[in-house]
Structure formats: structure tokens, C-alpha cells
Amino acid sequence: MINLLIPAVTELASGFLSNRKEKAAAKQKLAVAKIEAQVTKVQSDAGWEEKAIDSSANSLKDEAWTICFIVIIVACMIPDAQP
């Protein structure tokens, strides 16, 4: 009777351990996939920001708007320019 139980118990234990090993490997693959996805997202975001900065390097539009608003604010301080 004991001779029949020992192989069954060892088979059950080896199956349990192999399942745990497979679960651990799956969790590790999932963690690696998440990290790779984050790295890809950061790289694509950085690339987009770099393109935006490069395209606005030669643009005078921001400076023109700044000067326009400064002129309006200064005109509010001069009594002859007020309505």
C-alpha cells in the first residue's frame, strides 16, 4: 500500500513544482514585456518632443505674440493710449 502512495505523492509534488516554475516564468515574461512597453513609450514620447522642439527652433511666431502682448500691456499703462 505504501509502495503505491509514494509514486503518487512524488508525481503530485513534481507536478506542483513544475506548475510553480511555469507561473514564475510567465510572471517574469510579463514583467519584461511591461518594461519594454514603457521603454518604447518613453522613446516615442521623447522623439515627438524632440521633433516639436526642432520645428520651433526657427519659428518667430512665439516671439511675435510675446511682443504683441507686451505692447498691449504697456499701452494700458500710458494715459494717452487708454480709451
pLDDT in tens, the chain (83 residues): 777 778 877 887 888 888 888 999 999 999 999 999 988 888 877 777 788 777 777 778 888 989 999 999 998 888 887 76
What's this model's pTM, rounded to 2 decimal places? 0.45
Query: Alpha-carbon distance 75 to 83, whole Å?
Result: 10
| φ, ψ dihedrals at 60, nearest 5° | -105, 5
Q: What is the DSSP letter of 78?
A: S
pLDDT of residue 70: 96
As a whole number of angstroms, the distance between CA 10 and CA 60 comes to 77
pLDDT of residue 73: 92
Q: What is the pLDDT of residue 7?
A: 80
Query: 32-65 as b/e, with b when 16 or more CB fall inside 10 Å?
Result: eeeeeeeeeeeeeeeeeeeeeeeeeeeeeeeeee
